[in-house]
Amino acid sequence: MGVSDRGWSRTGRFGIRRGGLGRCNRGRPPMTSEFHRIASGHRIGAPMHPSRRLLLSHLIFRAPEIAPTSGIVSTPPDGDIELTWPVVADRARRLGTALRGLGVDAGDAVATLAFNDHRHLEAYLAVPCLGAAIHPVNTRWSDDEIVSVLSRTRDRVMLVDAELAGRVESLLPRCPWIDHLIGLGWSPPPFEGVTPHQHERLLAESTPMIGWPDLEETTTMALCSTSGTTGGPKTVAYTHRSTCLHTMALGLTDCMRLSGRDTLLAIVPMFHAMGWCLPYAAAMLGSRLVLPHRDLSAPRILDLVSQHAVTTAAAVPTIWNTVLAALDAEPERWDVSSLDRIVSGGAAPTASLIRGFRDRHGIEVIHSWGMTEINPVGTMSPAVTTREEADMDPDRRLDHQSVAGRPLPGLSLDLEDDDGRPVPHDGRSTGRLLVSGWWVADGYLHDHPEAGRFREDGRLETGDVSSIDDRGRMTIRDREKDLVKSGGEWISSLELDRAIGDLPGVLSAAVVARPDDTWGERPVVFVTLDPDATLDLETLRAALAPGFQTWQMPDSLHPLPAMPLTSTGKIDKKVLRAKVLAMTSSGTKPGDLA
């Protein structure tokens, strides 16, 4: 675009020719015109008016206005409670006033050690809108892991669920920076140097905050930490801007089709990557929100679906495997006719899981991929998003429902080889997966050995090996750390996981590498089976033969009574690798490892 010495271009920014107002205004407006006065007041770089900023306070208090009769169902142990969205907003505003009274200000961190309920939701709404950062702490972590994270983030206030009250006594002496402890559903006793508060009493003694502070949209609204497998904990900051954009994307048709008509069961823990921001999406859209608290067993989940006519829900595949098994075992016990679709993230669902929900219960499974470092949802794979997919046979759709799917608008995915060269998007070629876009974090808050994953060009190395097809659908082929290198060739443990997990009678499967003097590494598989099922190595290899070469197949099979899980419900391959190393060093026979 050529710019003259007077600052006018022959063709404007949006392709409008000089003069900018079409045929009725062929000449340049005079310098003294009203047009010029208004334009001069909106120069690029001028401060943005607060009403135009992407702030959560503009987004998550929408439900009380558009859906005042809708609300939430919270199910803590001290009794189920239903609250309308206006009541939720009022309680959040009271909490905001209370926290301000405790000295919480912009830039402070407020930790929560809690489950999914109305009290935790109120903190989700209030803390960021004050300009502080909410910091949900994983309830499944050990004290050492929690202290390691909090020693870096230095949270001044901590909200703790009644079910976790017993952990406070051992944590507080190791966290001298905590000034205030707020009991959610309980009254904390006095602790040296810490002022105790009871949540409901704080709300009763506070008036609703009338107006939230005007913030910059780049203000940190949340801290999300992972314990980290190497180099200590990793913490990233989510901003108001990134979270607003991410939350709005969750409401898109091509994502999970969430709307104000839905009743959403938020199974994903709110301490895990902000619960995938689903609480914010419900508050934005006016969806009815069901919060299950601590008990995430299959019967409890199905009870909630049946009792509250849930239309959509989100969880990890290990949860959905147990739910499907319970439904199949007692098909008449629960009414799930309201349940239209479920989102499965954290690992790829098997084709048998997708088919089982679809064919036997009429429920669509949407696979999602994401990372804590990207706020966290990156892709979705609904059954149908294009005309082409609408014309497909339902069984053909399984091919793309079981992959990670397309990136949400605002994100871009790239592949590169070991030399940094682009990898074609042909659905077959694999490479290192890179992600960039509107809600990708800038980096880790504290020094970490993996900080180099955040590149200067804005792209993040995800640690995944992937392929992308000519329709933009991405498939995770493996984690770089989980690949098995045998005889100089790479074997995808994830593809074996999926194939074995799809076999009859297999509840879960995980392949890891075993050191081998001849080949370098060889694949080993761990499985959990239905109570009446059996599986031996010969049968397994025969079942895998149509899709895998002999050298790609596992050398040994180890049935386990239960699969080790991480704190977020994923299969913990670190534990399995440790078992294999122990077996290798001790000479344990394959069948003795369980």
Residues 97 and 231 in one domain: yes
Angle ∠(319,322,325) on CA atoms, nearest 5: 150
* Contact criterion met (CB below 8 Å) for 235 and 450: no
Cα separation, 12 vs 563, whole angstroms: 61
Residue 344 falls inside a structural domain: no
Side-chain half-sphere exposure of 359, counting CA atoms within 13 A: 9
Residue 539 falls inside a structural domain: yes
Q: Environment class of residue 569 by beta-carbon count within 10 Å: exposed (0-12), middle (13-18) or buried (19+)?
A: buried
**HEC-encoded secondary structure of 425-451:** CCCCCCEEEEEEECCCCCCCCCCCCCH
Helix axes 278-285, 240-250, angle to 10 degrees: 70
Residue 156's SS3 state is coil
518 labelled catalytic: no
Picking from 193, 227, 252, the residue at the C-terminal end of a domain is 252
Cα separation, 181 vs 189, whole angstroms: 10
Residues 23 and 132 in one domain: no
Q: Environment class of residue 491 by beta-carbon count within 10 Å: exposed (0-12), middle (13-18) or buried (19+)?
A: buried
Residue 59 falls inside a structural domain: yes
Q: How many domains does the chain have?
A: 3
Q: In what order do the strands lie in the sheet with 312-315?
A: 81-84, 71-74, 288-291, 263-266, 312-315, 341-345, 364-370, 377-381, 406-407
Angle ∠(71,324,251) on CA atoms, nearest 5: 35
Residue 5's pLDDT is what?
Answer: 38
Cα separation, 185 vs 123, whole angstroms: 14
Cα separation, 591 vs 588, whole angstroms: 8
Residues 9 and 142 in one domain: no
* Contact criterion met (CB below 8 Å) for 565 and 502: no
Q: Which of 373, 430, 462, 566 is catalytic?
A: 373
461 labelled catalytic: no
Residues 10 and 93 in one domain: no
Q: What's the longest Cα–Cα distance across the chain?
A: 90
Cα separation, 347 vs 64, whole angstroms: 35
Amino acid letter for position 490: W
Place of tokens 């499944």: 140
Picking from 207, 236, 252, the residue at the C-terminal end of a domain is 252
Instruction: Please choose, from the candidates 210, 211, 179, 176, the residue with its C-alpha nearest in 3D space to the C-alpha of residue 196.
Output: 179
Residue 560 falls inside a structural domain: yes
Residues 116 and 162 in one domain: yes
Cα separation, 20 vs 408, whole angstroms: 34
Q: Which of 169, 177, 485, 551 is catalytic?
A: 485
Residue 194 falls inside a structural domain: yes
Residue 468 falls inside a structural domain: no
CATH number of the domain encompassing residue 495 = 3.30.300.30
Picking from 203, 234, 252, the residue at the C-terminal end of a domain is 252
DSSP H helical ranges for 184-277: 199-204, 240-250
Residue 144 falls inside a structural domain: yes
Q: Environment class of residue 592 by beta-carbon count within 10 Å: exposed (0-12), middle (13-18) or buried (19+)?
A: exposed
Residues 488 and 541 in one domain: yes
CATH number of the domain encompassing residue 138 = 3.40.50.12780
Residue 37's pLDDT is what?
Answer: 52
Residues 190 and 152 in one domain: yes
Residue 73's SS3 state is strand
Residues 212 and 97 in one domain: yes
Residue 11's pLDDT is what?
Answer: 34
Cα separation, 524 vs 267, whole angstroms: 32
490 labelled catalytic: yes
- φ/ψ of residue 4, rounded to 5: -80, 175
329 alpha-carbon distance from chain centroid: 30
Place of tokens 């502070």: 213
Paired with 479 in beta bridges are: 464
Tell me whether strands 431-437 and 460-468 are parallel, antiparallel or unpaired.
Answer: antiparallel
358 alpha-carbon distance from chain centroid: 24
Q: Is the dihedral of CA 513, 516, 519, 522 positive or negative?
A: negative
Q: Which of 416, 490, 570, 588 is catalytic?
A: 490
Residues 34 and 113 in one domain: no
Residues 182 and 231 in one domain: yes
User: How big is the chain by its Cα radius of gyration, in Å?
Assistant: 26
Residues 16 and 98 in one domain: no
Does the N-terminal peptide bond of residue 29 adopt cis geometry, omega within 30 degrees of 0? no
Cα separation, 414 vs 138, whole angstroms: 31
Domain interval for residue 1: 1-43
Residues 92 and 8 in one domain: no
One digit per residue, the tens of pLDDT, for the chain of length 594 reads 443 333 333 333 223 233 333 334 444 545 555 554 554 555 555 677 888 999 999 999 999 999 999 999 999 999 999 999 999 999 999 999 999 999 999 999 999 999 999 999 999 999 999 999 999 999 988 898 899 999 999 999 999 999 999 999 999 999 999 999 999 999 999 999 999 999 999 999 999 999 999 999 999 999 999 865 445 678 999 999 999 999 999 999 999 999 999 999 999 999 999 999 999 999 999 999 999 999 999 999 999 999 999 999 999 888 999 999 999 999 999 999 999 999 999 888 888 899 999 999 999 999 999 999 999 999 999 999 999 999 999 988 888 888 999 999 999 999 999 899 999 999 999 999 999 999 999 999 988 888 999 999 999 999 899 999 999 999 988 887 788 878 767 788 888 998 999 999 999 999 998 888 788 789 999 999 998 899 999 999 999 999 888 888 999 999 999 999 887 778 888 889 888 888 877 666 444 444
3-state helix, strand, coil in the chain (%, to 5): 30, 25, 45
